[in-house]
Amino acid sequence: MTIFQPGDAVRIKIWQLYQGNTQNRDISGDYTIKPDGNIILPLVGKVRIKGLTDYELEQTLKDKYSEYLKNFYVSVQPLIRLTLQGAFIRPGAYRVPPSSSLWDVVALAGGPQRNCNLEGLRVERGGKVVIKKLLGSFEQGVSLEEVGIESGDQIIAPRKNELNMAFLVGIINLMASVLLLYLRLKSKNY
């Protein structure tokens, strides 16, 4: 059960059953929770959601929208903040449902780079490693919430320590040049 906190977001879906000639309003969307614990919604304005659970927010929204809408349904989905750093195609900050898997999150970041060390995936919170071997949990299709990932966590993907072929060829060329220079200088001294 998620409790909404500032900085997170919530995905709200509100839909009405067809009511003849009534206008269907588009209220659904993703709403960021402001530092004061509120979100701003169409028609009803400011709604304080800090500290509410999913169910409590659904009930609050049903109450607030009941004077504007008839025969409607409300669905809320919390979105937590995650930062993906390191060997991802598009590292950055993302808001995702806690029910997402690691692969859902990695897909948002464009996938891993070719030199990504998936075995070294880890989670940091407040600068400290809180989950070291992340890959094993997600190979089983476990959600972020089940693994213990929280809003504000950072998923770090280190790069593989692979020897770059161009770098290796450059080192060999340098060593060969130094050796040839040494041999040439040595042969001129004799």
9 with 96: CB under 8 angstroms?
no
Domain with 170, as residue range(s), is 165-190
What is the DSSP secondary-structure string of 116-155?
B-GGG-EEEETTEEEES--HHHHHTT-BHHHHT--TTEEE
pTM higher than the cut 0.85: no
Query: Residue 164: what pLDDT?
Result: 63
Residues 152-163 pLDDT 10s? 999 999 998 766
Q: Does 37 reside within a domain?
A: yes
CB atoms within 10 A of CB 181: 10
Query: Residue 21: what pLDDT?
Result: 58
On whether both 56 and 97 belong to a single domain, the answer is no
On whether both 86 and 66 belong to a single domain, the answer is no
Residues 7-56 pLDDT 10s? 899 999 998 876 655 566 678 999 999 999 999 999 899 999 999 999 99
Query: Residue 103: what pLDDT?
Result: 86
CATH number for the domain harbouring residue 56: 3.30.1950.10
On whether both 72 and 38 belong to a single domain, the answer is yes
Eight-state DSSP code of residue 90: S
Q: Final residue of a domain: which of 79, 105, 120?
A: 79
For the chain, the domain total comes to 3
For the chain, report the end-to-end CA distance as a whole number of angstroms.
84
Confidence bin at 149 (pLDDT 50/70/90): very high
Q: Does 1 reside within a domain?
A: no
